[in-house]
Amino acid sequence: MPQSLLEQLRNYTTVVSDTGDFEAIEKFRPTDATTNPSLITTAAQMPQYQPIVDEVLKEARNELGEGASDKAVANLAFQRLAIAFGRKILAIVPGRVSTEVDARLSYDTEKTLEQARSIIAQYDQAGIDRKHVLIKIASTWQGIKAAEILEKEGIHCNLTLLFGVHQAVACAEAGVTLISPFVGRILDWYKKDTGKDYQGADDPGVQSVTKIYNYYKHFGYKTQVMGASFRNIGEIKELAGSDLLTISPHLLGELESTQETLPRKLDPEKAKSMNIDRIPMDEAIFEKMHDEDRMAHDKLKEGIEGFSEALLKLENLLADRLAKLEQRTPATV
Report whether 159 contacts 304 (CB < 8 A).
no
CA neighbours closer than 13 Å in the CB half-sphere of residue 116: 33
Angle at the Cα of 234 (from 233 to 240), degrees rounded to 5?
85
- Please list the residues that pair with 182 across neighbouring strands: 228
- State the DSSP code for 229: -
Q: Distances in Å between the alpha carbon of 289 and those of 162, 167, 285?
A: 13, 9, 6
Q: Are 162 and 182 in contact (CB under 8 A)?
A: yes
Query: What letter would DSSP give residue 226?
Result: E
Cβ atoms of 238 and 206 closer than 8 Å: yes
Q: What are phi and psi of 175, to 5 degrees?
A: 75, 30
Q: How far is CA 32 from the centre of its chain?
A: 11
Q: Is 196 a catalytic residue?
A: no
- DSSP-assigned beta bridge partners for residue 23: none
Measured distance CA(306)–CA(283) in Å, rounded: 25
Q: Which of these is catalytic: 58, 88, 136, 301?
A: 136
Question: What's the residue count for the chain?
Answer: 333
Q: List Cβ neighbours of 58 (8 Å cut-off, separation of 6 or more).
A: 325, 333
β-bridge partners, 14: 244
Q: Are 213 and 225 in contact (CB under 8 A)?
A: yes
* Contact between residue 179 and residue 168 where contact means Cβ atoms under 8 Å apart: yes
- Could you give the residue numbers annotated as active site? 136
